[in-house]
Structure 1
Amino acid sequence: MELRHLRYFLAVAEEGNFTRAAARVGIGQPPLSQQIQALEHELGTRLFVRTPQGARLTDAGQAFLVEVRRVLVDVDRAADTARRAARGESGRLRLGFTASAAFNPLVPALIRDYRRAWPAVELALEETNTAGLLRALMEGRLDAAFIRYSVSTPTELQLLKFPDEPMRIVVPAAHRLAAHARAPLSALAGEPFILFPRSFGNSLYDEILQVCRQAGFSLAITQEAPQMSSIVNLVAAALGVSVVPASTEQVQLPGVRYLEIEGLVPVARLALAALPERAESSPVLRHLLSLAQEHLAI
């Protein structure tokens, strides 16, 4: 039994006439009659009583009609679902991000506009550090991720790079620098420093250490924290000072002050990363990448 047999049966049942049904489905009347006879033979029962005026359903035909209509509705729905998925209008997008990336205004704007453009796409978000995001991308557990990239980022990944973001000094409110709007990195020499572990992502870590060395001193890292917001909280507790992306200044706590950096300024590098082969096979991912390119072009 094929779908065309069900559609032929439905046409005859609704038209009550083989000639009109044949015209409706686009075949001749004799072939249509043969197809219906073959269907009846397969089912082992008559579906129609032939009359001089056309055809009427038997009791078995009436029962079969109810199920045929349900099957064809399901088939049409399945076909429409497949077409929508092929156009990227439905499906599932697995998107990762670092905690610090979420502070960059382009990131929530991109996610918001994506949801507005394709509301039927299920968006599965995962927050972790860059090292974890890279593993998930390479293992196929994420479709795309906002990462802090560096020269060690896998070359297999396609990167849509965001504008470099300057960093800020963050100090406790009672710190000797707190009354200043700006200060050079060298002013932090000898200070207890709070930073995230290098294993969480070497891009920001190495950038901060390198620029501090260029400023003439080495950091004394006395405390590690997993996220930028955690770093700011530890600074508020007067456990040390730190350097964070400028967008982290959105974390406004009573016990901290943010200062612009004079002279050598480390930058935070952010990119939307994806495997090219995944983008080729995933319409929902292609939509995200295209929208990201539009945002970055503004």
Structure 2
Amino acid sequence: MELRHLRYFLAVAEELHFTRAAARLGIQQPPLSQQIRQLEDELGTKLFRRLTRGVELTESGVFLLKEARLILNQVEHTKAAVQGLARGTSGHIRVGFSNASYFNPVVSQIICDFRERYPNVVLTPFQSVTAELVHALHEARVDVAFLRAPFDDDGLASELIVEEPLVAVVPEGHPLAAQRDTGLAALAKDPFLLFPRATSPGFYDSIISACQQAGFSPKLGQEAPDIPSLVHLVGAGFGVSVVPQALSQISAQGVVYLPISGERPMAWTRLGSRRNETSEAVKNFISTARRHRIVGSVVAR
């Protein structure tokens, strides 16, 4: 039994007339009748009873009609799914987000744009720290990841998507809180809150380097599990910190955000992926991210 037999049978079964079915299929009636006879011979039963004007289904024909529709629908579904995967218009992408990278409006725009362009691709978010996401990319537990720091890994590709300035975060009662901005060196005497270096060594080191370039080594205080937690620890009076500008949208009680004057230290958001990626959907995601990349610009507050 071939799919063409089922398609011919379905046309006759729905039209209940060989001439109309042949016209619908775009073939002559004799070849159609021959194909139906071949199908009946293979199945060993009659599928139609010939009437004066047209035909009617036998009991076997009624059963085959239901099955033929299911089979042909599944064939069309499978065909569309395979073609969608080949074009990257369907599928599943696991997207990693590190260190509150999802707060960046450019990242949000990338996600929204991709979902609008490719509504049949399912995006599953995965939140973790940069170090864990790098492992997850290698182990194929995530397919792409927005990372807060540069990393050196021959097995992974990395594209800079957006850079934004860091801003100082101080408690509401801090002497600097009433100022419009501050130099980074003004934080030298305060306990400086950071996240553990192991979670994002590149980003951690860039902050330490920025402080040293400003003329001081920060007095490290309480560690926070991640960047958003730093804001709340500052509000609780544990010290001061710096965070990417996009995080200033966190309205934590007792916290003031201050632009950093002078040579402003920057934060980077990169898109990590596996080299030689074969998934067309993932390739489409990377292309979407490239269209939104903002490098050398300040992300609006």
TM-score, with length taken from structure 1 = 0.86
C-alpha spacing 1:57/1:102, structure 2 compared with 1 (3 Å): closer
Contact kept? 2:161, 2:292, Cα under 8 Å: no
Distance 1:295 1:65 in 2: 51
Residue 200 of structure 1: how far off its partner (Å): 0.7
What SS does the aligned partner of 2:293 have?
helix
Q: What is the letter of the counterpart of residue 194 of structure 1?
A: L
Structure 1 residues 56-95: Cα deviation after superposition (integer angstroms, max 9, x where no partner): 4323223322322232233223323333343333322211
Alignment correspondent of 2:293: 296
The aligned counterpart of 2:282 is: 285
**1:270 aligned partner:** 269
Indicate the residue corresponding to 1:3 in structure 2. Answer: 3
Does the Cα contact within 8 Å between 1:185 and 1:264 map onto a contact in 2? no
Aligned match of 2:218: 219
Alpha-carbon shift at residue 28 of structure 1 (Å): 6.3
Q: Aligned-pair distance for 1:234?
A: 0.6
In the TM superposition, residue 147 of structure 1 has moved relative to its aligned partner by 0.5
Contact 2:106–2:162 under 8 Å retained in 1? no
| Number of residue pairs matched by the alignment | 295
**Aligned partners of 1:26 and 1:240: how far apart in 2?**
80
> Does the Cα contact within 8 Å between 2:98 and 2:128 map onto a contact in 1?
yes
How far off is 1:206 after superposition? 0.3
Give the Cα separation in 2 of the matches to 1:72 and 1:162.
45
Q: RMSD between aligned alpha carbons?
A: 2.6
Q: Name the CA distance, whole Å, in 1 between partners of 2:134 and 2:93.
A: 16
Name 2:298's counterpart in structure 1. Answer: none
Aligned in 2, Cα 1:15/1:264: closer, same or farther, shift over 3 Å? closer
Q: How does 1:1-298 map to 2 (within 5 A)?
A: 1-16=1-16, 18=18, 21=21, 24-25=24-25, 32-49=32-49, 56-150=56-150, 152-278=151-277, 281-296=278-293
Structure 2, unpaired ranges of 5+: 296-301
Question: What is the rounded CA distance, in whole Å, between the counterparts of 1:63 and 1:181 in structure 2?
Answer: 79
2:88 partner amino acid: G
Distance 1:14 1:169 in 2: 72
Gaps of 5+ in 1: none
Residue 210 of structure 1 and its aligned partner are, at CA, apart by 1.2
Q: Look up the SS of the partner of 2:162 in the other structure.
A: coil
- Output one character per residue of 1:267-290: Cα deviation in whole Å (capped at 9) or x when no partner: 111112222432xx3232233222
Amino acid at match of 1:141: R
CA contact (8 A) 1:157 1:275 kept: yes
Aligned CA distance change for structure 1 residues 12 and 219 (closer, same or farther; 3 Å): same
CA distance in 1, matches of 2:17, 2:185: 92
Give the letter for the 1:74 counterpart. Q
CA–CA distance in structure 2, aligned partners of residues 195 and 293 of structure 1: 30
- Indicate the SS of the match to 1:249: helix
Percent identity of the aligned residues?
Answer: 46
Deviation at 1:121, TM superposition (A): 2.4
